[in-house]
Chain A
């Protein structure tokens, strides 16, 4: 559970931080006048244009996260708390892009290790194919469709697959500047996600909203509180699980310091409460942690 929360909060924090990288492209309260083409006898015609940077073809990043979790296995009874390490290694490739469309192939490897619960250690491999379409010229609205194939194996050379899933995700997201100083942003997204899992008892359909505020007290620092309510419908009935519905609520706070474009340091805390209609399936987990991320794009 702690791992789930920590991992998801990390990924969410990354997503939110990256979302806000577009902030300067958003409408400004006092936009500068539109420059015009000037004709200069010596220089010639200087035609001003608006240039949107194209996505980098390759992105390689790693996040090293250390955190505490109150619930390693996301269980209601017999909760195991532990210090933990999550190493994430991600590479993505953009074969081609248009100003409003970015297809992307992403490979990600996660390595989770628990100090007090070695039986919870696992490795996770992902390959994701995504397509992102930006609706509006101010780039405030976008739709991203992703298919992610994910595989979880036991650690320490056992290498036994204990869980795998295909995630079909549709995300609509919106970023809105607040205030006059362009230092506060509201981010909202809706995810409709289907997890086709093995074991099939974990097949589920998620409806999730994410609401976040991102405040930049200075250019390098971002403070982001967020909340993520989700309705989860488990679609496979078993002898112990029938018509399972969960309400999952995650809330958290992330503070990120990015001294340069290659490196970021974060401290975050998140809390997840899962309320299930199936006895014994509800859980709670709290996970404070720190992380360092290195990214290279080219």
Chain B
């Protein structure tokens, strides 16, 4: 009897611990920190949704959906801030540390803790470490851009490295394009920046990027697009180095090793006044004839 009670107690305890663990995991997935207008959450898109006001805790894998003229901000378990624009459907898996954007616009700012996070859409998968950027999926077109930091985006198994100030445009059926964009302009006009009261966790890196961007503009490295437009980056103009006179040096070394036997290179010789060695002519060179 005691054995049965013990087993029953252990089973209940295990169940409670399991539920508590799930609850803890769910509680640590993401928290809504800002919600404007229609913001809902649910386990799956096919099930019933519930409003997600500020303070709502999303369970692991639960999705968040914004309506027309709506926006939301979440703090993920890894302290990443994500901001959702209107008509956006998104979910986050804490277990996989993966953000899945099904449609809409998402801005992310992940602290530089060197722990990788994956941002996924239908055709583009991006790996970030400590980065601030955005991703937008409208129809089949995808735009993935970075405000600061760098990331690797993968399309059909091909990796593309994206740096701060660059965006990757991709529409299935067309080759991906990597373009540079005006970072300060985006930051000044994006509702995902200007319409939220909180600073992003990587604010100091963003400010550094703005300063560097403005410096590059001042030095001419960033210009308005012109015709023809150069799609790809180039490595810059090469350093050149004049050719030293190796041939002259080689000849000089040969002369150094084998000095020429002309007058200027010979030590002074006593004059000779007896034929046949009478050149140079005889002269007083001390009393060396003995």
Contact = CB atoms under 8 A, between A and B. Distances in A.
Say if A and B assemble together. yes
Interface residues on B, range: 35 or more
Contacts of A74: 247, 250-251, 254
A202 interface: yes
B240 A47 contact: no
B159 to A, nearest CB: 14
Interface in B187-208: 187-194
A43 B167 contact: no
B252 A152 contact: yes
Contact of A165 (B194, B226, B245): B245
A99 interface: yes
B3 interface: no
A92 B239 contact: yes
B191 A44 contact: yes
A269 B275 CA distance: 56
A49 B252 contact: no
Interface residues of A, number: 100
Contact of B246 (A7, A32, A193): A7
Contact of A134 (B145, B219, B232, B237): B237
A42 B242 contact: no
A291 interface: no
A202 B254 CA distance: 13
B229 A33 contact: yes
Given A163-B253, A202-B248, A21 B234 contact: yes
Interface in B213-241: 216, 219-241
Contacts of B225: 34-36, 48-50
A294 interface: no
Given A21-B236, A42-B85, A146-B242, A47 B216 contact: no
Contacts of A150: 244-245
Contacts of A12: 243
B178 to A, nearest CB: 10
A144 B234 CA distance: 19
A263 B257 CA distance: 37
A25 interface: yes
A139 B237 contact: yes
A147 to B, nearest CB: 9
Interface string A186-224: 000001010101010010100000000000000000000
Contact of B243 (A11, A26, A97, A100): A11
B217 to A, nearest CB: 8
A48 B233 contact: no
A43 B186 contact: yes
A119 B241 contact: no
A169 B234 contact: no
Interface in B35-83: none
Interface in B241-290: 241-257, 260, 262
A138 B216 CA distance: 18
Contacts of A8: 243, 246
Given A154-B256, A162-B252, 10 more contacts: A22-B237, A37-B185, A39-B189, A42-B192, A47-B182, A130-B239, A132-B240, A162-B249, A163-B249, A272-B247
Interface of B: 85-86, 88, 104-105, 134, 136, 143, 145, 165, 167, 177, 179-182, 185-194, 216, 219-257, 260, 262
